[in-house]
A and B are shown apart, each in its own frame.
Chain A
Amino acid sequence: MLLRGLTWLVFFRLLGTVLNVLLLPMLPGPIIGLVLLLVFLKLRGEVGEPLQQAASSLLRYLPLLLVPPAVGVMAYAKDIAADFWAVMGSLILSLLLAVAFIGWLMQKLIDRQARHRSEP
Chain B
Amino acid sequence: MSLDWAGAWQALIHHPLFGIGITLAAYQLSLAAYERTRWVFLQPVLVSMLLVILVLLACNIDFPEYRASVQTLTVLLGPTTVALAVPLFLNLRRIRQLFWPILVTLLVGGVAATGLGVLLAWLFGGEHLMLMSLLPKSVTSPIAMLVADQIGGIAALAAVFVMITGVLGAICGPAVLRLCGVRHPAAQGMALGITAHAVGTSRALQEGEECGAFAALGMSLMGVASAVLLPLLMALIV
Contacts and interface: CB of A to CB of B under 8 A. Distances in A.
A64 interface: yes
Nearest to A111: B184
Contacts of A73: 49, 53, 160, 163-164
Interface residues of A, number: 72
A63 B44 contact: yes
Interface string B116-151: 111111011111001000100110111100100010
B121 to A, nearest CB: 4
Contacts of A61: 76, 80
Interface string A76-120: 100110010111111111111111111111110110010000000
Contact of A87 (B85, B130, B198): B130
Interface residues of B, number: 113
A62 B80 contact: yes
A5 to B, nearest CB: 9
B117 A91 contact: yes
B172 A29 contact: no
A58 interface: yes
Contact of B142 (A28, A37, A71): A28
B109 A92 contact: no
Contacts of A22: none
Given A70-B167, A99-B176, A31 B156 contact: no
Residue from A47, A58, A89, A92 having most chain B Cβ neighbours under 10 A: A58
A102 B195 contact: yes
B58 to A, nearest CB: 12
Contact of B82 (A12, A47, A70, A100): A12
B94 to A, nearest CB: 11
Interface in B72-119: 73-74, 76-90, 92, 98, 100-102, 104-105, 108-109, 112-113, 116-119
Contacts, number: 311
A41 interface: yes
Given A13-B82, A90-B126, 12 more contacts: A12-B79, A71-B63, A86-B124, A86-B125, A90-B118, A90-B120, A91-B168, A93-B120, A99-B173, A99-B191, A100-B177, A106-B186
Kindly list the 9 A-B residue pairs having the minimum CB-CB distance in the complex, ordered from nearest: A109-B101, A90-B120, A86-B124, A103-B182, A103-B191, A30-B81, A106-B187, A102-B109, A94-B116
Interface of A: 6, 9-10, 12-13, 16, 26-31, 33-35, 37-38, 41-42, 47, 51-52, 54-56, 58-59, 61-76, 79-80, 83, 85-107, 109-110, 113
15 contacts: A27-B228, A30-B78, A31-B142, A63-B48, A63-B202, A67-B23, A69-B77, A70-B46, A90-B117, A91-B161, A95-B169, A98-B109, A98-B138, A99-B172, A100-B176
Interface of B: 19, 23-24, 26-27, 31, 44-46, 48-49, 52-53, 56-57, 62-64, 66-67, 70, 73-74, 76-90, 92, 98, 100-102, 104-105, 108-109, 112-113, 116-121, 123-127, 130, 134, 137-138, 140-143, 146, 150, 154, 156-157, 159-161, 163-169, 172-173, 176-177, 179-184, 186-188, 190-192, 194-196, 198-199, 201-202, 205, 220, 223-224, 227-228, 231
